[in-house]
């Protein structure tokens, strides 16, 4: 299994390319001049950010506030810049894993390449040498900053319909709350 590894990258962010309604979502890691971008779905970005927040909050709670986990994103780590160019997708993300390494006090994020028949069960410990994995190890503060940015990126899409909550296109949308009429 080829692993693209980043130990404390200079930058690790979620970002998009394209206009709202037509955006492609990416995770991007950069260390020096080396950049890796992997494509994923909007819901995967949301889930990763939410799970990161939950993990960090749980670590902070269990430690009684002594763990090196900030309760909020440190201002100096906020990153609202665009993705580094060029954005060249290494692979599409299928499954992701999240862990806390208590020895190094680092969050580990793994994004595994999507495979054919991803819905099939795989035996634990079974490795496919053709599947690529992006593994990133970041501090808890970097993880807070990542999650905050990722949630902003997801929210920056099309505004929701005030009636049904589905995304609005520039021309409106067929709203189920209006019996299929344009909203």
| Cut 0.75: pTM above it | yes
Q: How many CB atoms lie within 10 A of CB 12?
A: 25
Q: How many CB atoms lie within 10 A of CB 175?
A: 18
Cα separation, 84 vs 106, in Å, equals 24
Domain of residue 90: give its range. Answer: 3-182
Q: How many CB atoms lie within 10 A of CB 56?
A: 21
Number of domains in the chain: 1
Tell me the average confidence (pLDDT) per consecutive run of 10 residues in the chain, 183 residues long: 94 93 94 97 96 95 86 92 95 96 95 74 54 96 97 84 75 74 60
The single residue listed with the structure tokens 């962010």 is 13
At 135-167, the pLDDT tens digits run 999 999 999 999 999 999 998 877 778 888 777
**DSSP conformation class of 13:** E
């Amino acid at each position: 299994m080829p692993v693209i590894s980043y130990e404390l990258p200079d930058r690790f962010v979620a970002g998009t390319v394209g206009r709202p309604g037509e955006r492609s979502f990416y995770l991007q890691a950069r260390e020096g001049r080396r950049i890796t971008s992997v494509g994923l779905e909007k819901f995967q970005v949301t889930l990763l950010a939410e799970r990161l927040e939950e993990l960090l909050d749980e670590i902070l709670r269990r430690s009684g506030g002594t763990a090196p986990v900030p309760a909020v994103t440190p201002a100096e780590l906020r990153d609202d810049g665009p993705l580094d160019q060029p954005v060249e997708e290494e692979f599409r993300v299928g499954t992701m894993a999240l862990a806390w390494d208590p020895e190094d006090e680092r969050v580990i994020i793994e994004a595994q390449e999507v495979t054919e028949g991803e819905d099939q069960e795989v035996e634990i410990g079974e490795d496919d040498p053709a599947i690529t994995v992006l593994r990133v190890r970041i501090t808890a503060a970097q993880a807070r900053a990542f999650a905050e940015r990722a949630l902003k990126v997801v929210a920056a899409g099309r505004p929701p319909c005030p009636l049904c909550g589905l995304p609005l296109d520039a021309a409106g949308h067929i709203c189920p709350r209006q019996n299929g009429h344009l909203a």
